[in-house]
Chains A and B, each alone.
Chain A
Amino acid sequence: DAKTTQPNSMESNEEEPVHLPCNHSTISGTDYIHWYRQLPSQGPEYVIHGLTSNVNNRMASLAIAEDRKSSTLILHRATLRDAAVYYCILRDVRSGGSNYKLTFGKGTLLTVNP
């Protein structure tokens, strides 16, 4: 699996935007970029994923660099509930439709200050 690099931790203030970076310089053309987060004492939850174009959903936006070597997860207005560990994961679509695993790194611990 291609490797991703994220800052160990980031801090934000409530109701401000948060930009969580992820570097993946060895990404291949068939790697999707997935983001999951893990709130305290809970299982990971899906946030967003994309391939080349920027993506938006109700939780967040994903901005993907033109060369795809980096991406940024954007939380438009952080709330206290967004405090979590955020994982950036690459998933190769060639690994098969019915079998793939998620390889989690250490992620970024986001602290949201009131």
Chain B
Amino acid sequence: DSGVTQTPKHLITATGQRVTLRCSPRSGDLSVYWYQQSLDQGLQFLIQYYNGEERAKGNILERFSAQQFPDLHSELNLSSLELGDSALYFCASRDSPWGTDTQYFGPGTRLTVL
């Protein structure tokens, strides 16, 4: 158990819909990262937040957005869903910049778009 929680575990929805994925980082971790894992693209970085502020963006589509709240949990919002958005979505948290330089991953949310 990494200490990072993600809900829901599974999500099945239809094209055109909007969903929200939730992530709670390990206690005390300020950074949250979102990754997408699909069969054809592998694990790809989407976006990072640090203490409520966006810090880095990767291959995140404009239809996707994220935020980190004052209690440090984060949400990834996916809208106008397409079949190709079906994937595993992982969030990770990282300990302090002066810590072990390790990212701790949650169990993921499996999104299926029908």
Q: Does A101 make an interface contact (CB < 8 A)?
A: yes
Q: Is A105 an interface residue (CB 8 A)?
A: yes
Is the Cβ of A45 less than 8 Å from the Cβ of B48? Answer: no
Interface assignment of B92: CB less than 8 Å from any CB of chain A? yes
Q: Is chain A's interface secondary structure helix, strand, loop, or mixed overall?
A: loop
Per the bound structure, the CA–CA distance linking A87 and B33 in Å amounts to 18
**Cβ–Cβ contact B42 & A106, under 8 A:** yes
- What count of chain B residues pass the 8 Å CB interface test? 27
Contact call A98/B97, Cβ cutoff below 8 A: yes
| Cβ-defined partner of B2 (8 Å) among A32, A43, A101, A103 | A43
Among residues 17 to 67 in chain B, which have CB atoms less than 8 Å away from a CB atom of chain A? Answer: 30-31, 33, 35, 42-45, 48, 50, 55-56, 58
Residues of A within 8 A of B33 (CB): 101-102
**Contact call A99/B2, Cβ cutoff below 8 A:** no
The one of B30, B48, B106 that contacts A101, using a Cβ cutoff of 8 Å = B48
Question: Which chain B residues have a beta carbon within 8 Å of chain A's beta carbons?
Answer: 2, 4, 30-31, 33, 35, 42-45, 48, 50, 55-56, 58, 90, 92, 97-98, 101-108
